[in-house]
Amino acid sequence: MSDWLSNIIPFVIVITLFVVIRRAATQPLWAEAIRRIKRNRLALMALCVICIFGATAFCDSISWRKDKNAPSLSLIDRAFERPAEPTYSAPFATMTFGEPTPRPLLGKHWFGTDGTGQDVFYQTLKGCRTATIIGGFTLLIATPLALLFGMMAGYFGKRVDDAIQYSYTILDSIPNILLLVALLMVMGRGLPQLCIALGITSWVGLCRLTRGETLKHREREYVRAAKALGISNIRILFRHILPNLLPLVVISTTLSFSGLVLAEAILSYLQLGVAQGTGSWGNMIDGARLELAREPVIWWNLSAASLALFILVLSFNIFGDALRDAIDPRLSS
Amino acid sequence: MKFSSRRHWLFTTVAASVVLAGCGNSPYPAGLTGQSVYFLSQADDPRKLDPASSYRASEGAILDVICSSYYDYQPLKTKNFQLILGLGASEAKRAPYTYTDAKTKKPRVGEQWTFKVRRDLKFANDACFPGGMGRAITAKDFIYAFRRMADPAAASPVQGFFTDKIIGFDDLIARNGDLLKKGEGADYKTPVPGLQLDQKDPYTFRINLNQPYPQMRYLMAMHFTSPMAYESVDYYGKDIVHHPIGCGPFILEEWTPKRRIVLAKNPNRPAEYYPSEGDPGDKEAGLLANAGKQLPLVDKVVVSNITESTTGWNLFLQGYMDGWSVTQSNYQQVVSQQGSLTPEMQEHGIRLTKSSDVGVTYFAFNMRDPIFGGYTTEKRKLRQAVSLAVNSQEFIELFSQGNGRAAQTVVPPGIYGYDPKYRNPFRAYDPKLTRAKELLKEAGYPNGLDARTGERLTLYYDNAKTDAAGRQYVALISRQIQALGLRLESRSQRDVVWQSKIDGNDWQMTDYGWLADYPDPENFVFLLYGPNRRPGPNLTGYDNPVYNRLFEKMRAMDDGPERLKLIEQMRAISDEDCPLIYIQNSQKLSLAYDWLSDFKPNPVTNTALKYRSVDGEKRAERQRQWNKPVWWPLAAMFAVLIAGTLPAIQVVKNRHRRRVTHKD
């Protein structure tokens, strides 16, 4: 993919998000939810943290090259463009770590450096983009699948319902981790492959939920009225039922985002995560396996990745809960 | 009998105490560690234990003490490796041998090796023999082992060692191939001119070679040539790979894949004794304390399969492993800044041994690659430039904690032809990369850019480095290559995929290593001999006619000035062509407890297990001292539980005491 095209994508995503939120704010249900969230300080803090992670991912997605033969460097890469250190160094240290004769470091490293002298803070920031892509793109794959099949099963019932239920029951009966391993073995390692594999294995929960909700809505007066007026099924599904399911979808996707970010870490630990050279917290945690067994222990690599992972997952969980309460205040009690 | 509630409590407490007191952290059956048993571990689990086909280090370490060979190595002679007789009754005799070439029908002079086998040899007892009792071993069983290497069903990886040397061996392989296509078994009957039994003496056999080949004696020290009982192959069929039957010091008592291998003393083992001489200084170091004792020195060997180094290290510290290797993770805990053992380890009764592997690791270029392969001046300069940009010392510091030598050429230390003063002109690392950049420019890639297209040159590095340490390795080589101005793209695959790419010639640069099969330079310089290309050991496909001619001449020679001169000429040619970027001659740091007899690691032999003795009582006593149960966490847990339960009990009691009162 050319640089300009890969740079347009993050802008498109950010603009789309902005437009969607602005449009939602004009509708009474969402306007009320936004008003409630604004009053929830914890949720606002979580949102701020998510925005910081998102902004870091955005900065890491904007890249260009000095000339056609130079590597394409992102804003984050450029901010940390300096010679690598010889080997490990502890956070804020001035000398290398674990060598018989420690050597002075070339620069300051807040989170220390790893075995090949790479700055751990830089690697942690690089992990933001991977986490965001995995969460975002996987949901972009899983959510439409879940909505489509869930609504069809709930609305049409009978054989369509049987077929869809049968399919997702079979899929759900295979342990997720095994299915993921099998898919990644077939498709190979890489960020897109990982998103596809996670997408295939993570749509069933939302599909079940959507089916149940659709079954409920199918019997409501507004759907009956639409049918009586001769409106097509497709139009009823996407024009009338879908908007009523959106709050549920938004809550569900927000809460499952954190699960997907965690899944990447687990798969990387099993050496099935993103490809080598792609900054990822999972790869950092996997790399720290050997370091934790060292004496004295090298803890900063694991700590940095785990902390970043913990903060992002916690923020998403807090925000997801707040969003659920805001959309449906009856649940908060 | 009916217990009261209080008695019930008492009984439960006493029973729990008895059960818990019996619990320990020992991974072995009670009492075993107090016996003459040697406990060690292997990270790699042997896949098969078949003398004809096992080639992995983990397999050799087990197999070589089950299946002894005609020759063995004197274990204490590590400065100049020395062969001693194993199953052989006398030194093999070499003599010129005239034969008629089957293709040209012309007489040729080859070499005949005559081997005389000991008369007191018996196979280990096994169900494959009548009555389960092992029978006597004769020369026939050695010849059978050779013929089995030509059997496609055995898939012997060293077939190539003999194919072009034993007269008629190539025909036998071809015949067996044809029989396989027809769905028939291999030919074990038709006489092969190169494999001769003595008509008068059943303990003598001859190997007739079409060329002088001094290395034959070393091959007779490998398990591939150890005697094989045809009854075992007939009895076990394909499962023979799990039933090694020989006449070594041990027999296979138990093999639980991915868990444990137990070796027990072979009751039919031939008499052999601990050597009474070694290298200078060995006697003073106490290495001859067991001199003259009959081997093996322990009754049993338990080899546990431990893949996680942390687990193994903890077992070693608890005294449940008699020895362990120093790794990246425990190096600082074990070795002080002065390079000796830390005082904590010394107090623990641990001994540190440093030894060198006879081997070399390297990055290899595919010589058939259109960009980095080839023999033109430009291609040569391109490889030389890359070689100059790779800093071996950084690899040694990061992955071997500074233990190892930066390799200069293919022949490693300890092998005839190694010159410690020699410096490879294309392995002299200069941080400024001045010469490397000049060579790159001369090769047509100034600053790493293709002079014709202006594109940056990409070097594809195919590897199987998917784990954490592997990623560090890739990151380091990327950094070094990128400093030259080239782009390095790593193609990391699973081990099987990578291996098939290598075998299928679908690669540009990779990393590899070679450990000595036998202590002869031929075993290293043959890595660059053209006809040895894949599936042979020549990974790169390097094929220089001058080098090949020199190799063929050198191979047939005994060590001497003339051979040395040829080795130096070959070194000059191959270093100039630069198909390999030499990285490291590894060194190993091993740890052992003082209850295990001291022993010098010998890198070319796998029979160390039979020379080790153990003081089981001392070990068991130490294990008891170091592994006393720690009860306070349990007590603390109970205290917390009780403290947490008391308020609940109080609440329940208060509820029971509550009375309804009526207010007037």
CA angle B642/B646/B652 to nearest 5° reads 140
> Among candidates A219, A260, A257, which has minimal Cα distance to A241?
A219
Counting Cα atoms < 13 Å in the Cβ hemisphere of A19 gives 6
> Among candidates A318, A198, A327, A192, which has minimal Cα distance to A250?
A327
Interfacial residues of A (vs B; Cβ cutoff 8 Å): 68-69, 71, 84, 86-87, 98-100, 114-116, 118, 189, 271, 275-277, 283, 286-291, 293-296
Interior/surface letters A8-23, b for 16+ CB within 10 angstroms, e for the rest: eebeebeeeeeeeeee
Q: Which residue of A has its CA nearest to B399?
A: A115
pLDDT for A317 beyond 80: yes
Say which DSSP state B248 is in.
S
Tell me if B398 and A87 make a contact (CB, 8 A cut-off).
yes
pLDDT given for residue A176 in this prediction: 85
Q: What spatial distance separates the first Cα and last Cα of chain A, rounded to whole Å?
A: 49
Rounded to whole angstroms, the Cα distance separating B192 from B195 reads 5
Interface test with A, best of B332, B445, B488 (most A CBs within 10 A): B332
With a pLDDT cut of 70, the percent of chain A lying above it is 98
Interface test with B, best of A294, A298, A302 (most B CBs within 10 A): A294
Q: Which residue of B has its CA nearest to A114?
A: B472
Q: Which residue of A has its CA nearest to B454?
A: A69
Rounded to whole angstroms, the Cα distance separating B552 from B561 reads 16
Rounded to whole angstroms, the Cα distance separating B548 from B526 reads 9
Beta bridge partners of B109: B98
pLDDT given for residue A2 in this prediction: 67
Closest partner residue to B469 (CB to CB) among A87, A276, A290 is A290
Number of helical (H) and strand (E) elements in chain A, helices listed first: 14, 2
Mean pLDDT of A182-194: 86
CB B319 within 8 A of CB B622: yes
pLDDT band with cut points at 50, 70 and 90 for residue A321 = confident
Match 């927000």 to its residue by tokens: A254
- Ordered DSSP codes for B563-627: HHHHHHHHHHHHHHH--EEEEEEEEEEEEEETTBPP----TT-S-GGGG--B-HHHHHHHHHHHT
Give the tens place of pLDDT for each residue, A132-184. Answer: 999 999 999 999 999 999 999 999 988 999 999 999 999 989 988 888 888 88
pLDDT for B3 beyond 50: no
Mean pLDDT of A114-126: 90
Helix (H) or strand (E) holding A264: helix A242-269
Tell me if A69 and B474 make a contact (CB, 8 A cut-off).
no
Give, in order, the Cα–Cα distances in Å from B550 to each of B351, B518, B526, B553, B557: 45, 20, 11, 5, 11
For strand B204-209 and strand B260-265, is the pairing parallel, antiparallel, or unpaired? unpaired
pLDDT given for residue B18 in this prediction: 52
List the structure tokens of B135: 């029978």
Q: Which residues of B touch A71 (CB under 8 A)?
A: 487
pLDDT given for residue B1 in this prediction: 45
Min distance A189 CA to chain B CA atoms (Å): 9
3-state secondary structure B17-36: HHHHHHCCCCCCCCCHHHCC
Tell me if B329 and A98 make a contact (CB, 8 A cut-off).
no
Interface test with A, best of B310, B327, B329, B433 (most A CBs within 10 A): B329
Tell me if B398 and A115 make a contact (CB, 8 A cut-off).
yes
pLDDT for B378 beyond 50: yes
pLDDT given for residue B630 in this prediction: 82
Interior/surface letters B469-508, b for 16+ CB within 10 angstroms, e for the rest: ebbbbbbbbbbbbebbbbbbebbbbeeeebeebbeeeebb
> Among candidates B542, B546, B515, which has minimal Cα distance to B531?
B542
Rounded to whole angstroms, the Cα distance separating B259 from B28 reads 12
Counting Cα atoms < 13 Å in the Cβ hemisphere of B314 gives 11
> Among candidates B201, B179, B200, B181, which has minimal Cα distance to B189?
B179
CB B139 within 8 A of CB B132: no
Q: Which residues of B touch A285 (CB under 8 A)?
A: none
Rounded to whole angstroms, the Cα distance separating A216 from A154 reads 8
Tell me if A69 and B397 make a contact (CB, 8 A cut-off).
no
Tell me if B332 and A290 make a contact (CB, 8 A cut-off).
no
**One-letter amino acid identity for B428?**
A
For strand B83-85 and strand B88-100, is the pairing parallel, antiparallel, or unpaired? unpaired
Closest partner residue to B332 (CB to CB) among A68, A276, A295 is A295
Non-local CB neighbours of B647 within 8 Å, separated by 6+ positions? none
Please count the other Cβ atoms lying within 10 Å of the Cβ belonging to residue B101.
Answer: 12
pLDDT given for residue B112 in this prediction: 96
- Ordered DSSP codes for A112-140: -B-TT--BHHHHHHHHHHHHHHHHHHHHH
Q: Which residues of A touch B339 (CB under 8 A)?
A: 100
Match 């062509």 to its residue by tokens: B577
Q: Which residues of A touch B448 (CB under 8 A)?
A: 69
pLDDT for B569 beyond 90: yes
pLDDT for B19 beyond 70: no
Q: Which residue of A has its CA nearest to B450?
A: A69
With a pLDDT cut of 70, the percent of chain B lying above it is 95
- Ordered DSSP codes for A174-196: S-HHHHHHHHHHHH-SSHHHHHH
pLDDT band with cut points at 50, 70 and 90 for residue B403 = confident
Cis before B257 (ω within 30): no
pLDDT for B138 beyond 90: yes
Please count the other Cβ atoms lying within 10 Å of the Cβ belonging to residue A35.
Answer: 11
Of A203-212, A284-293, B86-95, B446-455, the poorest mean pLDDT is in A284-293
pLDDT for B145 beyond 90: yes
Q: Which residues of B touch A276 (CB under 8 A)?
A: 465-466, 471, 474, 490, 492
Please count the other Cβ atoms lying within 10 Å of the Cβ belonging to residue B601.
Answer: 15
Mean pLDDT of A13-23: 89
> Residue A70: is it exposed, middle or buried by C-beta count within 10 angstroms (0-12/13-18/19+)?
exposed
Tell me if B398 and A100 make a contact (CB, 8 A cut-off).
no
Of A1-15, B443-457, B603-617, the poorest mean pLDDT is in A1-15
Rounded to whole angstroms, the Cα distance separating A56 from B278 reads 65
pLDDT given for residue A82 in this prediction: 80
pLDDT given for residue A133 in this prediction: 92
Q: Taken in order B403, B409, B410, B412, is the CA torsion positive or negative?
A: negative
> Among candidates A105, A73, A86, A50, which has minimal Cα distance to A3?
A73
Beta bridge partners of B192: B195
List the structure tokens of A199: 């997408």
> Among candidates B443, B393, B438, which has minimal Cα distance to B585?
B393
Min distance A297 CA to chain B CA atoms (Å): 9
pLDDT given for residue B371 in this prediction: 95
Of A261-275, B67-81, B311-325, the poorest mean pLDDT is in A261-275
Counting Cα atoms < 13 Å in the Cβ hemisphere of B538 gives 20
CB A43 within 8 A of CB A327: no
> Among candidates B8, B614, B642, B567, which has minimal Cα distance to B323?
B614
pTM (two decimals): 0.80
Give, in order, the Cα–Cα distances in Å from B105 to each of A219, B174, B363: 97, 19, 44
Q: Which residues of A touch B456 (CB under 8 A)?
A: 69
pLDDT for B320 beyond 80: yes
Match 């020989």 to its residue by tokens: B246
Q: Which residue of A has its CA nearest to B473?
A: A116
CB B228 within 8 A of CB B144: yes
CB B360 within 8 A of CB B582: yes
Helix (H) or strand (E) holding A64: strand A63-64
Give the tens place of pLDDT for each residue, B83-124. Answer: 999 999 999 999 999 998 888 888 999 999 999 999 999 999
Give the tens place of pLDDT for each residue, B338-360. Answer: 778 999 899 999 999 988 889 99
Give, in order, the Cα–Cα distances in Å from B590 to each of A312, B100, B304, B404, B593: 44, 53, 17, 14, 10
ipTM at complex level: 0.71
Give, in order, the Cα–Cα distances in Å from B431 to each of B18, B391, B393, B437: 67, 9, 12, 11
